[in-house]
Amino acid sequence: MTSHINDIIDFDPEVFLKQYWQKKPCIIRKLFPDFSDPVDADILAGLSLEEEIDARIVSCENGNWDVQQGPFNTEDFDEHCVGNWTLMVQGVDNYLPETQFLTEQFSFIPHWRFDDLLVTYSVAGGGVGAHYDEYDVFIVQGMGQRRWQVGHKLSSHSEKLYPHSDLQQVKPFEPIIDIVMLPGDVLYIPPFYPHQGKSITECLNYSIGFRAPNQSELFQGIADGILDNDILTKRFSDPNRELTNKRSAVNEHDIFVLKQLMHQFIDLDEMDYLLTEMLSKTYHPIHDDYALDSPYSRPEMLQLINTGFTLTPNLGVRPLYSEHQINEFFVFFINGHRFEADAVDRFFFETLLNATQLNVGHKDQLQFSSVDIITKLVNEGFYSILD
């Protein structure tokens, strides 16, 4: 085993961000003391049967790798869970409130960067081989023990291996971290650091992943937003066009003006909103499951506010807003849905969007328009009223 020069005993988020985040991997010892698993193998297997949930089984028997994609049925487990195997279920945080304490531990990273919680169950010897990810991940050790190795950072052009068409790996590497993790320990791995985990015993692992959109994804998201909102109408114009005998040439000035046309949009406030809208979208629209069959009216909501109640976001909700806003409205987004509140109530909505629970009462002195927004948030299943 390598020396544990990257061990953290007393975790300090500020120190972590300065010294480790996107810089180098580390082990955070006992970040979750007296850790108790919020799920077990049966619960995970049950989730993998659901149509809308992304699940897969990765197995290796006699050196032969296999990947099976869910949803599964109960007979699939006998057929595919052979040799050294692992069951992986994506987006568990959207379905099990018991897992929320895991993601909340890392709330010092902005919500828009958070992707989802991947939970894996492995038998002894289980793993997915050496690989790297293009995103940051915290891996929490649950039940059992798992040996983790992490190597020096690779480039995005490093050679990739495909022992199965649905399984990307890398060549064996020299580890800079080689450690057996125990329940409550956390391994942080920045992008492009090769790593592999191999279960020593039957075990559970919880991977909190953080997305980082690339340029292609940003442009695609913005293009979708432009088309959906029909907000761009300014056209290219050239009143001072000069004579040319090169009809197929796009001259330097034309390229400059076209780029300027694009830059003018990027600098608009509406661009901030489109980016925020895009970042608020998720792949798990389960807030629909929380929509009320008997929606509240404004008078009913006003009565509730006068007596006082507590609001809490439902599972799968991603509320975001652009911090720099100086308009008469405070604009925010939840899972791609846009809301515009009176700027007078900005502080209230900022507090709501950043909280896991918020007491609401007559003291808040909300505008009628804000009462309507709260009513909509509850009726459409983004927020719930606690009993």
* Number of structural domains the chain divides into: 3
Name the residue among 85, 84, 89 with its Cα closest to residue 70: 89
Domain membership of residue 273 (yes or no) is no
Residues 251 and 205 in one domain: no
| Structure token digits, residue 346 | 């900005």
Instruction: Provide the β-strand partners of residue 131.
Output: 195
Residues 178 and 48 in one domain: yes
Residues 39 and 150 in one domain: yes
At residue 146, the pLDDT reads 96
Domain membership of residue 243 (yes or no) is yes
Domain membership of residue 276 (yes or no) is no
Residues 305 and 353 in one domain: yes
Domain membership of residue 164 (yes or no) is yes
Handedness of CA 68, 72, 78, 81 (dihedral sign): positive
CA 166 to CA 182: how far, in whole Å?
A: 30
At residue 261, the pLDDT reads 84
CA 310 to CA 384: how far, in whole Å?
A: 8
Domain membership of residue 131 (yes or no) is yes
pTM: 0.89
CATH label of the domain that carries residue 113: 2.60.120.650
Residues 362 and 336 in one domain: yes
> Which range marks the domain in which residue 311 is found?
286-386
Contact yes or no for 117/102 (Cβ under 8 A): yes
Residues 174 and 237 in one domain: no
At residue 285, the pLDDT reads 63
Residues 256 and 370 in one domain: no
Task: Give the pLDDT of the chain (387 residues) as one tens digit per residue.
Answer: 554 557 777 899 999 999 999 999 999 999 999 999 999 999 999 999 999 899 999 999 988 999 999 999 988 898 899 999 999 999 999 999 999 999 999 999 999 999 999 999 999 999 999 999 999 999 999 999 999 999 999 987 788 899 898 999 999 999 999 999 999 999 999 999 999 999 999 999 999 999 988 888 888 888 877 777 666 667 888 888 888 888 888 999 999 998 888 887 777 777 888 889 989 988 766 667 788 999 999 999 999 999 999 999 999 899 999 988 888 899 999 998 999 999 999 999 999 999 999 999 888 899 999 999 999 999 999 999 987
Residues 170 and 67 in one domain: yes
Domain membership of residue 189 (yes or no) is yes
Residues 220 and 196 in one domain: no
Residues 153 and 239 in one domain: no
Residues 298 and 151 in one domain: no
At residue 267, the pLDDT reads 75
Domain membership of residue 294 (yes or no) is yes
At residue 3, the pLDDT reads 46
Domain membership of residue 358 (yes or no) is yes
Quick one: DSSP state of residue 302? H
Q: What is the DSSP string of 208-264?
A: EEE----HHHHHHHHHHHHHHHT--------TTPPP-S-TT---HHHHHHHHHHHHH
Residues 312 and 232 in one domain: no
Contact yes or no for 146/244 (Cβ under 8 A): no
